[in-house]
């Protein structure tokens, strides 16, 4: 280990910054965020740096000499003058003042890492000065797994540390208590912005006579297929779950993102062939959560758009099971985007309507007269089997047979296929080629824009990224 990671308190301490350009500005912002008093030495200082300075700060335009090091807690050299940077480094080492020379690790006694700031939680990533760009890339990946609300959670824990210590004299009991707290409903309340309720629940939990793990359910929208379209929150909760119930429409690559030791339960449903009836799924969610387990209900698309999520949370609410609903990118948005079809466009469609291709009794008795208005895009979910009826009824109720339409198969995945035709020709078009679910049907003038906007098909997504 070339550098030992340390965190230091700069609040109210004088920090020397030699340089007045953009690099110095970036370092000044960082020091200012930590509460430092700035002493800036440079004949020329850009306006942005000047505006950052406060009355307690100093601006010395006469140039550098070692007298400016008096009373300094640390120093940063941010100039492009190599001899000057070396002199500053030598002076600081002689006076035992920590020094950082930007982009020159050999002259540094400390380095500035890439930072993930969730104050008071701070994560630092360093390459030892060898590759700051790599450190920033690692930081960007970590950003996605550390919610911005972790800072508020840390503040909440800080309020109750003494109370927990008084309640649990044994360090192992305290550790167990905090592990349950930081991975359970209390933390999730903070993440959802309900800090007051989280504080009340934590206070109540401390007064319980014993530790009891609490079960909960996460209804997670997995999106239309591409794992990269999952939200940060969806991924975080999925990787916490002890049990994962997943649908047929959830891509295998997404299921693989759950914990390796999690129990996986397939509850997929096809038209007229439900592997597990919905009522049984509802009961499974209640049963697993009642056992104290964290349950992820993983659904394709969005749980509340033709996903029957409403029925599932009704059952959970009746049994007082805590739950969260994590929205997902619905198939209409994802598939249309990857197919190069904007669902709305100022010149073609000012509204969009989502419709299920079959109802509860497997009929497709839809309000056809409402679906034929011009300047409107219609998206049919689960409409492959009923496609002939859809085309026939739209034409019969006044939609022009030349209206463009698209059928998207396995949208957003490497197996995506798009068939473009019209209301009058689509049935014949798919008769000449095998098409299988899941599919999405888009009807409207916006489909005509696909040839110009279909970015997805310009790339071979089956190949690794370069």
**pLDDT single digits (tens) 242-284:** 999 999 889 999 999 998 889 999 998 665 555 688 899 999 9
- pLDDT: is 393 or 171 the higher one? 393
| Whole-angstrom distance, CA of residue 110 vs CA of residue 116 | 18
Tokens of 239: 């990787």
Question: Is 224 known to sit in a ligand binding site?
Answer: yes
Residue 25: what pLDDT? 96
Question: Is 330 known to sit in a ligand binding site?
Answer: yes
Residue 458: what pLDDT? 57
CA distances in angstroms from 253 to 63, 137, 229, listed in the order given: 59, 24, 12
Q: Is the pLDDT of residue 460 over 70?
A: no
Q: How many other C-beta atoms can be found within 10 angstroms of the C-beta atom of residue 255?
A: 18
**pLDDT single digits (tens) 322-351:** 899 999 999 999 999 999 999 999 999 999
Question: Is 412 known to sit in a ligand binding site?
Answer: no
Question: Is 162 known to sit in a ligand binding site?
Answer: no
Question: Is 442 known to sit in a ligand binding site?
Answer: no
CATH class of this structure's domain 1-112: alpha beta
**pLDDT single digits (tens) 224-239:** 999 999 998 899 899 8
Q: Is the pLDDT of residue 464 over 50?
A: no
- pLDDT: is 463 or 229 the higher one? 229
CATH superfamily of 216-329: Tetrapyrrole methylase, N-terminal domain (3.40.1010.10)
The stretch 435-445 carries a mean pLDDT of 92
Q: Tell whether the torsion through CA atoms of 145, 149, 154 and 157 is positive or negative.
A: negative
Per DSSP, helices labelled H in 121-230 are 132-143, 150-167, 171-182, 185-191, 195-206
Tokens of 214: 């609490």
Give the pairing type, strands 404-409 and 439-443: antiparallel
Q: Do domains 216-329 and 332-457 have the same CATH topology?
A: no
Nearest to 330 by CA among 358, 352, 347: 352
Q: Under a CB-based contact definition with an 8 Å cutoff, are residues 341 and 457 in contact?
A: no
Question: Is 43 known to sit in a ligand binding site?
Answer: yes
CATH class of this structure's domain 332-457: alpha beta
Question: Is 388 known to sit in a ligand binding site?
Answer: no
In the chain, where the domains are located: 1-112, 150-206, 216-329, 332-457
Tokens of 385: 């089997």
Give the per-residue SS3 of 225-255.
CCHHHCCHHHHHHHCCCCEEEECCCCCHHHH
Question: Is 117 known to sit in a ligand binding site?
Answer: no
Nearest to 335 by CA among 270, 413, 250: 413
The stretch 47-67 carries a mean pLDDT of 93
Q: Is the pLDDT of residue 205 over 70?
A: yes
Residues assigned a catalytic role:
247, 269
Q: Which CB contacts under 8 angstroms, 24+ apart, belong to 229-236?
A: 229/328, 229/329, 229/334, 229/412, 230/254, 230/257, 230/328, 231/326, 231/327, 231/328, 232/144, 232/145, 232/147, 233/147, 233/191, 233/326, 234/326, 234/328, 235/144, 235/145, 236/145, 236/147
Nearest to 303 by CA among 264, 247, 252, 343: 247
The stretch 66-85 carries a mean pLDDT of 95
Q: Under a CB-based contact definition with an 8 Å cutoff, are residues 114 and 132 in contact?
A: yes
């Amino acid at each position: 280990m070339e550098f030992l990671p340390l965190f230091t308190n700069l609040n109210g301490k004088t920090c020397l910054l030699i340089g007045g350009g953009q690099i110095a500005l970036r370092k000044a912002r960082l020091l200012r965020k930590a509460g430092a008093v700035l002493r800036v030495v440079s004949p020329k200082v850009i306006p942005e740096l000047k505006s950052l300075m406060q009355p307690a700060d100093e601006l010395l335009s006469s140039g550098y000499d070692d007298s400016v090091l008096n009373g300094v807690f640390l120093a940063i050299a941010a100039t492009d003058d190599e001899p000057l940077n070396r002199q500053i480094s030598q002076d600081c080492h002689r006076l035992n003042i920590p020094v950082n020379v930007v982009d020159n690790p050999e002259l540094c006694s400390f380095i500035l890492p890439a930072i993930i700031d969730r104050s008071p939680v701070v994560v630092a990533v360093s390459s030892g000065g060898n590759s700051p760009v790599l450190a920033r890339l690692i930081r960007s990946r970590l950003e996605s797994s550390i919610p911005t609300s972790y800072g508020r959670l840390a503040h909440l824990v800080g309020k109750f540390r003494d109370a927990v210590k008084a309640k649990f004299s044994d360090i192992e009991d305290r550790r167990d208590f905090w592990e349950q707290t930081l991975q359970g409903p209390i933390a999730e309340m903070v993440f959802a912005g309900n800090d007051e309720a989280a504080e009340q629940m934590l206070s109540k939990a401390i007064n319980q006579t014993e530790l009891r793990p609490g079960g909960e359910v996460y209804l997670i929208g997995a999106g239309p297929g591409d794992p990269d379209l999952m939200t940060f929150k969806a991924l975080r909760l999925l990787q916490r779950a002890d049990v994962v119930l997943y649908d047929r429409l959830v891509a295998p690559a997404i299921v693989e993102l759950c914990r390796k030791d999690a129990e996986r339960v397939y509850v997929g449903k096809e038209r007229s062939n439900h592997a597990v009836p919905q009522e049984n799924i509802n009961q499974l969610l209640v049963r697993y959560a009642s056992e104290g387990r964290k349950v992820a209900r993983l659904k394709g698309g969005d749980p509340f758009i033709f996903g029957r999520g409403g029925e599932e949370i009704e059952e959970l609410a009746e049994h007082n099971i805590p739950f969260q609903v994590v929205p997902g990118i619905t198939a209409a948005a994802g598939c249309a985007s990857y197919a190069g079809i904007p669902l709305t466009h100022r010149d073609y469609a000012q509204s969009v309507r989502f419709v299920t291709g079959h109802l509860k009794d497997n009929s497709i008795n839809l309000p056809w007269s409402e679906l034929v208005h011009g300047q409107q895009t219609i998206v049919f979910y689960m409409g492959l089997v009923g496609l002939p009826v859809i085309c026939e009824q739209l034409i019969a109720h006044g939609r022009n047979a030349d209206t463009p339409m698209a059928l998207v198969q396995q949208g957003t995945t490497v197996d995506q296929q798009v068939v473009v035709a019209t209301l009058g020709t689509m049935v014949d078009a798919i008769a000449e080629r095998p098409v299988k679910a899941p599919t999405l049907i888009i009807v409207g003038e916006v489909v005509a824009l696909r040839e110009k906007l279909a970015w997805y098909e310009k790339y071979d997504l089956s190949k690794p990224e370069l």
